[in-house]
């Protein structure tokens, strides 16, 4: 009887740990809009006011959010959009999310815009020879239609044919464009996508907010003159300005279980353990090293993720030793790890290949040449 009870307890314990790992991994891997913002409250206030002016008053805007990787750019925009969608008047706001790594040219970007706005239907077989002709046709047609229609026209030549399915500021649905990896869109031919987005944001037709996310401080220097003249030159900079005491608070919040966790007793024990960890001197030393190297939350999430992997049914709570081991893994040289464990022969062949690479200036070479070098 006692054995059966212990087995049941172990199963319940294992289920709790699976739920803990699922909850925390989702928090570490995804920029959830449900957490708190740290050190970027002023920037958040600026951004949400700008979005509200677009959603409520129909005012077009454009802004660049600039900061190093892991500084919270995506978290900031996700929080702002979540709050915006909770406003009653924002129920008709449309969102379009583009990424410079995925939409590598304007044709792909236009298809993605069409998909996200649910406008896949093509209006007839009409094909336009230029952007200006296409835009004027769409605007003329839309002024006659007070509701959103499924409109798109696309020339598969080199010209870029943009779409708009909205009339004036009063009857139009506000559209928020979020361009992640904004600096990659700069390299598109003639910067046509950026030119048209900024041009629409300057016109009196449709309320549009164009938000670019980038880690390049010199991004304005990369814009063409005609594109730069249509940009509002609003910039929001994120620089991780919080100190170490706040970093400890972030550590506690990121590792704590939420109040809605199914097993309240286990969650209470877990959170008490997290509180003790945050007060432990060795843990604080680990966090201080991490803070001195990089203050971005992405590196903290990586540290916590590695420590979380060590949690098992026989080791249900995180310890300072787990965090110290995780810190050692984070600080290892990845290239040295690849070479570690190779035989003398393999290392000699790698050295021979390195010499050939230097001699022939990255020209291709074959195994016979490597053998001769060896």
The pLDDT of residue 182 is: 94
Question: Cβ-count burial of 62 within 10 angstroms (0-12 exposed, 13-18 middle, 19+ buried)?
Answer: buried
- CA-to-CA distance for 372 and 348, rounded, in angstroms? 12
- CA-to-CA distance for 9 and 351, rounded, in angstroms? 56
> Does residue 308 or residue 134 have the better pLDDT?
308
- CA-to-CA distance for 373 and 353, rounded, in angstroms? 8
Residue whose structure tokens are 């289920």? 15
The pLDDT of residue 168 is: 53
- Give pTM, 2 decimals: 0.71
Lowest average pLDDT, out of 73-77, 199-203, 229-233, 251-255, goes to 199-203
Q: Quickly count: other Cβ atoms within 10 Å of residue 16's Cβ.
A: 21
Residue whose structure tokens are 């005609």? 226
The DSSP secondary structure of 60-118, one letter per residue, reads -EEEEEE--TTSSHHHHHHHHHHHHHTSGGGGG-EEEEEETTT--SHHHHHHHHHHHTT
Domain boundaries, the chain: 40-143+168-236, 242-331, 335-373
pLDDT tens digits, one per residue of 333-363: 777 777 777 888 888 988 999 888 888 887 8
Q: How sure is the predictor about 151, in pLDDT bands with cuts at 50, 70 and 90?
A: very low
- CA-to-CA distance for 329 and 326, rounded, in angstroms? 5
In this structure, what token pair is assigned to residue 131?
Answer: 């952007």
Q: 40-143+168-236, superfamily in CATH?
A: P-loop containing nucleotide triphosphate hydrolases (3.40.50.300)
Q: How sure is the predictor about 139, in pLDDT bands with cuts at 50, 70 and 90?
A: very low
Q: Are 85 and 56 in contact (CB under 8 A)?
A: no
The pLDDT of residue 214 is: 94
* Helix axes of 244-255 and 297-308: crossing angle, nearest 10 degrees: 40
Strand partners, 62: 210
Q: How sure is the predictor about 184, in pLDDT bands with cuts at 50, 70 and 90?
A: very high
Q: Are 28 and 318 in contact (CB under 8 A)?
A: no
Residue whose structure tokens are 């980038």? 214
């Amino acid at each position: 009887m006692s054995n059966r009870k212990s087995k049941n307890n172990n199963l319940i314990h294992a289920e709790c740990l699976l739920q803990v790992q699922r909850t925390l991994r989702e928090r570490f891997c995804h920029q959830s809009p449900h957490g708190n913002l740290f050190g970027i409250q002023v920037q958040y206030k600026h951004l949400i006011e700008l979005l509200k002016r677009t959603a409520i008053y129909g005012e077009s805007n454009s802004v660049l959010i600039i900061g190093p990787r892991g500084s919270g750019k995506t978290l900031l925009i996700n929080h702002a959009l979540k709050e915006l969608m909770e406003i009653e008047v924002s129920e008709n706001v449309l969102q379009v999310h583009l990424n410079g790594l995925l939409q590598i040219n304007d044709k792909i970007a236009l298809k993605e815009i069409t998909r996200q706005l649910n406008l896949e239907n093509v209006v007839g077989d009409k094909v336009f020879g230029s952007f200006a002709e296409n835009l004027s046709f769409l605007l003329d047609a839309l002024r006659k239609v007070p509701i959103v229609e499924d409109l798109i026209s696309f020339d598969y030549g080199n010209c870029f044919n943009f779409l708009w399915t909205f009339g004036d500021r009063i009857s139009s649905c506000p559209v928020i464009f979020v361009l992640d990896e904004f600096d990659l869109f700069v390299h598109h031919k003639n910067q046509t996508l950026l030119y048209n987005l900024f041009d629409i944001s300057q016109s009196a037709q449709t309320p549009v907010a164009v938000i670019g996310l980038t880690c390049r401080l010199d991004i304005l220097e990369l814009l063409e003159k005609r594109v730069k003249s249509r940009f509002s030159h609003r910039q929001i900079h994120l620089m991780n300005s919080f100190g170490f005491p706040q970093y400890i608070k972030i550590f506690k919040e990121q590792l704590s279980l939420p109040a809605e966790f199914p097993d309240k007793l286990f969650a209470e024990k877990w959170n008490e353990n997290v509180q003790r960890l945050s007060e432990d001197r060795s843990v604080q030393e680990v966090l201080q090293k991490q803070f001195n190297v990089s203050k971005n939350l992405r590196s903290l999430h990586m540290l916590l993720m590695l420590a979380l992997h060590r949690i098992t049914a026989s080791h249900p709570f995180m310890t300072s030793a787990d965090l110290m081991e995780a810190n050692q893994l984070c600080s290892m040289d990845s290239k040295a790890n690849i070479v570690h464990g190779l035989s003398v022969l393999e290392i000699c062949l790698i050295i021979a290949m390195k010499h050939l690479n230097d001699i022939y200036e990255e020209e291709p070479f074959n195994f016979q040449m490597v053998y001769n070098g060896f």
